[in-house]
Structures are given as structure tokens and as C-alpha cells.
Amino acid sequence: MTTSHYIAGRWVEGQGSDCISVNDPALGLPFAELMAASVAQVDQAVAAAREALHAWKQTSTGQRAAYLRGFAEQLGQRREALITLQMRNNGKPRHEAEIDLDDAIATFNYYADLAEQLPQKNCDVPLAAPGFTARTRLEPVGVVGLIVPWNFPLVTSAWKLAPALAAGCTVVLKPSEVTPLIEQTYGQIADTLGLPAGVLNIVNGKAETGAALSGHNGLDKLSFTGSNSVGSQVMRSASAQCRPVTLELGGKSAIVVFDDCDVEQAVEWIVAGISWNAGQMCSATSRLLVQDGIAEALLPRLQAALDNLRVGNPLSEEVDMGPLTSQAQWLKVASYFATAREEGLQCLAGGKALDRDGWFVSPTLYVDVPADSRLWTEEIFGPVLCARRFATEAQAIAEANDSRFGLVATVCSADLERAERVADALDVGHVWINSVQAVFVETSWGGTKGSGIGRELGPWGLSGYLSVKHVTRCLG
């Protein structure tokens, strides 16, 4: 699998110095290898996108919409292969891999619809001053770099790629080196659809490739999803060019359970918020705030639910949770288990790596965790849930907001007026009330504070790839 880079409409071999090993996390073994792109190949990809930009942004919005619907249709035709690859390379259970694919398909169809509506956004602007007319034009930002993470490949790239193409931008996409294979599907689909050469380019690689792309002076915008540490480097690179960025970064999100909540439903929402994708999601609700009146009933049931989750290889058995996606992440989560022991935290469930092949850990629950514990304040990116009790609504809001992150939160209460009030008071970008983390393409995605800059999905995702031009004319 050496021809892993799609540049100017052609598949080419990697010329970089890094060899990327693609692993099956359920076995802890590699199943593919590819060579990274060189810095020169990143240059070629950006140049190809620049060369294609003028013609692509001149295409009608109807033509762009047709291409986007073609992407959606082609993803559906590759359904079983893509689901299997998500299970094999990410360790996702089948039901999660199916939802990922459906999400990507819905994203391309949604932005196809929005693309067709773009001409309506070019309109006259009423002026108070006489003797002048003004009109608005929405134009593509230009050449954009897209850097996507390993926890939701295919999905995160769809969230970026679909609105960028809808806006008339050309793209250089860099997938994660942990999960580089599934994004190649987009290059294959581009070939099938006859997408003009250079509109979509894909370069694979590790840190060197990412740095070459994020610091490239040929980009007009960069969109990055990943860790805060890398996000800060991306932001520094962008600042040197005064380039706009969208950053979707980390989270340490709270789930607040009031004592009027149905216990069994609350357990379902809590487990889903920490075990989905083995907790490897920036939106994981890893801080549980449970009101005093329900804590004694809820915590034992939660412990049992976590203990009873079926953990295993999604390709060989029916499971609720798969392995962590990489050995590096497995080692990181194991280090937090060690920290919990050093801090003397009370562990009700899990708290250990599993003694089997692959990168498995147990779903974990710590209770009465101090607010200054590293496990309470730091993003772990694994199925590790920390619980604290609260007495009042005001206390719950204050503790939920006491974080350097502000991505999402969940509120569980039978009192819907209170739930809505608490949701309004939380300093985050998205709140669920009495629900699992259902994400819809029509809503926005992004956070406050250290969780990033900008929004994806919905019309806000499209606006991030558009610039506003006003044309003012004197009538005299």
C-alpha cells in the first residue's frame, strides 16, 4: 500500500522518511504499511489545490451539490468495506461504525442542499445613505488545509471536506497516521466521480507532514481537530501567516444528574457518554456530578453497568466496547490508572488494563474524586469516569463550569424547566438534556475556552469556508 497519496488527481507513492504502520488494536498487530508524504509532496498538493481553485470556484453551486451527493452515494455503495475497516483499524463495535458511516453520508447530503442555497445569500444591502447601492457576495476562502484525528476518521473529514467543497474551496487533507486508510476512500470516490484534479488532495504522514501543511504559506485557511498541545502549534503556525483557523480541541465534559432523574435512564446516559468509542472522544462526559439524593441508588447500578459491558474484538464477537485505538493511547490511559492509585482514589469499577492481546482497558469508575485530582481536571481520552456529589443546582453549575475546557455537557432531570435553565448556564458549545450524545448535522459543533475556535456542522460549518465581500456603487 505504497501509493497512498492523492495529489493533482493521481495516486502517488510516498517519498517521506517515515514508514506508517497501520494496526489492528484488538490484536495489537500491524496489517498494512505505507510511506509518508515528503515535504516536497505537501508542496505539490498545495500547488495542485491552488491551480485548481480558480476553475472550481467558478463552477455552479448546483454542480458542486451534485458532486457532494455523489460522495454520499459512493460512501453508501462501499458500506460494508468501510464499516469493517472502522472496526479493524479503530476497534469500533459494529453499531458505532455503522453510525459513523451514516453520519458521513448525511453530512455530504446536507451540504449539497446548502450549496444549492448559496446564490440566495448574494443579495442587495439596504443603505440609509442616499445615492449608493450595495450588494453582498459570499466567496470561497480559497485553498484550505484539513487535519483530522484518529478517533472519528471518515466522520471528522466529512465535517470539514463537505462544507469546504460546497463553498468552492480546494482542499489538502491530512489524515491521522494512526488511521490513514479510510480517508483514501475520498480519493477513490473523487476518481469515480471525475472531480477535477487538484480540488481534493490527500497526503498521509506523521508530525513532519502535519507541520509542513499547517505552516504552509500557500494555504488560505486551516481547520484542525485534535489535541490541545498540537492545536497550539497549529495556531502558532497560522499566526505567522495571519491565517484564519478553526480548531476543535479537547474536552473534560460534565454530566449532571439531579435527584429527580430516573435512575436506570441516568445510568444509560452516563455509560454511553463515557464508553462510546472506548471514551476516545473529546465530548466524553468524563466528569459525573450526581446530586446527594440519588447518589446512593445510582452509583451501585452504574458500577454494575460498567462491569457488565462486553469488551472485546468487534470483528470476532458482539461487543459493547472495543479496544483503545493505539498503543500510545493504551499506555496513556494506563498511566492515569497508576496516578489514581498514587492519589488514593476510590475505584468502584475497572481501573486496569486487561490481560489479553490488544490494547484493551476496563470501563472505569472512580468516586468522590477531589476537584484538584489530575483525573478530574485532565482529558484522559479513555473510558475513565470520575464522580463527585453536589447538593444544590448552583453548586452543580459552578463545578461543571470549573474547567479550562468548554465543549459539551449533559443534564439529566425530570424537571425540564430546571434542565433548560442549567443548560443555559453551562459554559459549553453543546448541551444534551436527558439524552445520549446524539449529534445532528443541522446543529453546530465546537466549544468555548480551551475547547477550540469556531464551529463545524450546520450553516456555521459552511460559513467557516466563506468570505464576505461587499460591493458598493455610487449612483451619481
Nearest-5° angle of CA 232, CA 234, CA 239? 95
254-440, CATH topology level: Aldehyde Dehydrogenase; Chain A, domain 2 (3.40.309)
State residue 4's pLDDT score. 86
pLDDT, tens digit only, all 476 positions of the chain: 556 899 999 999 999 999 999 999 999 999 999 999 999 999 999 999 999 999 999 999 999 999 999 999 999 999 999 999 999 999 999 999 999 999 999 999 999 999 999 998 889 999 999 999 999 999 999 999 999 999 999 999 999 999 999 999 999 999 999 999 999 999 999 999 999 999 999 999 999 999 999 999 999 999 999 999 999 999 999 888 899 999 999 999 999 999 999 999 999 999 999 999 999 999 999 999 999 999 999 999 999 999 999 999 999 999 999 999 999 999 999 999 999 999 999 999 999 999 999 999 999 999 999 999 999 999 999 999 999 999 999 999 999 999 999 999 999 999 999 999 999 999 999 999 999 999 999 999 999 999 999 999 999 999 999 999 999 999 98
pLDDT at 52: 98
Task: Give CA separation, 347 vs 62, 159, 311, 343, 389, in Å.
Answer: 56, 37, 19, 11, 15
Phi, psi angles (nearest 5°) of residue 347: -100, 120
Q: Which of 282, 379, 399, 412 is catalytic?
A: 282
Distance CA 344, CA 386 (A): 13
Write the Ramachandran bin of 414: left for phi over 0, alpha for psi from -120 to 50, otherwise beta: alpha
All residues at 6 or more sequence positions from 324 whose CB lies less than 8 Å from its CB, including other chains = 25, 91, 278, 280, 330, 333, 359, 360, 361, 382
Q: Which of 177, 183, 248, 399 is catalytic?
A: 248
Q: In whole angstroms, how far apart are CA 338 and each of 163, 292, 345?
A: 43, 29, 10
3-state class (DSSP) for residue 178: coil
What is the predicted pLDDT for the residue at 340? 98
How long is the chain? 476
Which pLDDT belongs to residue 3? 67
For the question of residue 248 being annotated catalytic, the response is yes
CB atoms within 10 A of CB 98: 16
C-alpha gyration radius of the chain? 23
Q: Which fold has domain 5-249+451-474?
A: Aldehyde Dehydrogenase; Chain A, domain 1 (3.40.605)
pTM here is 0.96
The three grid cell numbers given for residue 140, joined into one nine-digit string: 470561497
What residues have CB less than 8 Å from 458, skipping those under 6 apart? 441, 442, 443, 444, 445
DSSP summary character for residue 100: H
Contacts of 140 (CB under 8 A, 6+ apart): 53, 57, 167, 168, 169, 465, 466, 467
Q: How many CA atoms lie within 13 A of 48 on its CB side?
A: 24
As a whole number of angstroms, the distance between CA 467 and CA 139 comes to: 5
Which pLDDT belongs to residue 2? 53
> What ranges do the domains of the chain cover?
5-249+451-474, 254-440
